């Protein structure tokens, strides 16, 4: 099979790339998405199957690519099918780091769960249903671990969170379910030795072009120039997955029409929700921190936050329980990077500083 454009991967970036291809007027039969998952890119509702099919996009699902030959523009699936492309977008994302990767004893036991793809989420839901009021251990205290712990609590599970697999005090934690959230790593193995890599990802320019002609990389796998900080970085978050995918597709169409587009100018944005709490963070979490607001567990509003200050300027801002306007204000502060005269004054002004900036 041959296509003008192939997106390899069926996650967030793939879905947004497909949407941008549709916006740019891709013709029926020109574009294929190849994904090892059995379902279409799922960040519903925006990217449902119903959205993708009418545009004449070939969804080649349940198909894992096991070999990529960038020189001959060929991808080969586990079942031995060959796919040719003129332009390739690599959107293979990340894979979870497993306990077996560290050689942890008992890592292959039953009822140890990871969460990256929808079938893994389904398996976890089944296990939760099967063990009403059970005990769960969540390994890893990142935002995914925290969100999962909240979800398990809501399902009446007794949850212990640990950040070390082997408890140093020798205690044994009983668990019906163990959920592991210890990070991910970008899926670049298919391209090793064929493409330039940096900081664990595939190196791109501001248009997500890689070192190989007609090959782009977006989302978690891309190491790209972060203009705001004059540095190359990799970002594992949905906001960047969406925006980088759109940028790459815009760049592809612009170059086909002899036009140019502006460089990617990304402001890091992260968010998380647990119970009735939800936070947003913009910018860079480097330098000194200044806390503000009411962070007491008994607080009725839970409105608190933090600024990060580097070289006398605000470079990052975090806010819990912000209104849409307040979140916009902290985003603006992180982008504009206003100077700070006194850290004490900043702590006193708190959110007012961002709103007035
Ligand atoms: P992915 O969405 O991972 O997609 C990669 C796709 O490529 C998958 O479909 C995979 O099957 C496919 N693929 C890989 N290799 C092959 C191959 N060889 N052949 C065929 N197909 C292949 N980010 C936030 O900003 N906020 C959040 O609250 C948040 N919550 C998250 C919660 C969970 C449980 C997880 C796992 C991630 C979360 N993230 C969050 C991170 C976010 O989901 C990722 O940054 C985002 O999905 C990256 O998009 P991507 O398209 O690059 O990769």
Taking the whole predicted model, whether its pTM rises above 0.80 is answered as yes
> Looking at residues 195-209, what average pLDDT do you find?
98
Least confident interval from 20-29, 160-169, 238-247, 347-356: 160-169
Is CATH 1.10.10.10 the classification given to domain 98-180? no
Q: 2-94+184-256, superfamily in CATH?
A: FAD/NAD(P)-binding domain (3.50.50.60)
**Considering Cα of 16, then 336, then 272, then 204, what sign does the dihedral take?**
positive
- Residue 235 Cα to ligand 1 middle (Å): 12
- The model's pLDDT over 252-295, given as tens digits with 9 standing for 90+, comes to 999 999 999 999 999 999 998 888 889 999 999 999 999 999 98
Q: Where are the domains of the chain?
A: 2-94+184-256, 98-180, 269-356
- Residue 231 Cα to ligand 1 middle (Å): 23
Q: Which fold has domain 269-356?
A: Enolase-like; domain 1 (3.30.390)
With a CB cutoff of 8 Å and minimum separation 6, the contacts of 59 are: 10, 32, 33, 35, 40, 49, 52, 53
With a CB cutoff of 8 Å and minimum separation 6, the contacts of 300 are: none
Is the CB of residue 280 below 6 angstroms from any atom belonging to ligand 1? no
- Residue 154 Cα to ligand 1 middle (Å): 25
Q: Pick the residue whose CA is nearest to atom 47 on ligand 1.
A: 12
């Amino acid at each position: 099979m041959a296509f003008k454009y192939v997106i390899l991967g069926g996650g967030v970036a793939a879905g947004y790339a497909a949407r941008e291809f549709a916006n740019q007027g891709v013709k029926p039969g020109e574009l294929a998405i190849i994904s090892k998952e059995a379902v279409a890119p799922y960040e519903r509702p925006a990217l449902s199957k119903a959205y993708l099919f009418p545009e004449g996009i070939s969804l080649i699902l349940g198909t894992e690519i096991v070999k990529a030959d960038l020189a001959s523009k060929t991808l080969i699936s586990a079942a031995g099918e060959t796919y040719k492309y003129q332009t390739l977008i690599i959107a293979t994302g990340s894979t979870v780091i497993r306990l077996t990767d560290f050689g942890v004893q008992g890592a292959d036991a039953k009822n140890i769960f990871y969460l990256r793809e929808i079938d893994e989420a389904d398996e976890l839901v089944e296990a939760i249903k099967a063990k009403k009021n059970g005990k769960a251990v969540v390994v890893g205290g990142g935002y995914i671990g925290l969100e999962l712990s909240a979800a398990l609590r809501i399902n009446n599970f007794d949850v212990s969170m640990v950040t070390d697999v082997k408890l140093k005090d020798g205690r044994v934690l009983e668990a019906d379910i163990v959920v592991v959230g210890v990070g991910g790593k970008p899926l670049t193995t298919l391209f090793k030795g064929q493409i330039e890599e940096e900081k664990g990802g595939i190196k791109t320019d501001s248009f997500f072009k890689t070192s190989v002609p007609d090959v782009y990389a977006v989302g978690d796998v891309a190491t790209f120039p972060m203009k705001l900080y004059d540095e190359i970085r990799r970002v594992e978050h949905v906001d960047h997955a969406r925006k980088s995918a759109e940028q790459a597709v815009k760049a592809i169409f612009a170059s086909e029409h002899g036009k140019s587009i502006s460089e990617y100018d990304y402001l890091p944005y992260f968010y998380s929700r647990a119970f009735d709490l939800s936070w947003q963070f913009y910018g860079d979490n480097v330098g000194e921190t200044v806390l503000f607001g009411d962070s007491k567990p008994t607080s009725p509003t839970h409105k608190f936050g933090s600024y990060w200050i580097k070289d006398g300027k605000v470079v990052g801002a975090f806010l819990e329980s912000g209104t849409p306007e307040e979140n916009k204000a902290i985003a603006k502060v992180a982008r504009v990077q206003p100077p700070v005269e006194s850290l004490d004054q900043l702590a006193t002004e708190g959110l007012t500083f961002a709103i007035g900036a």
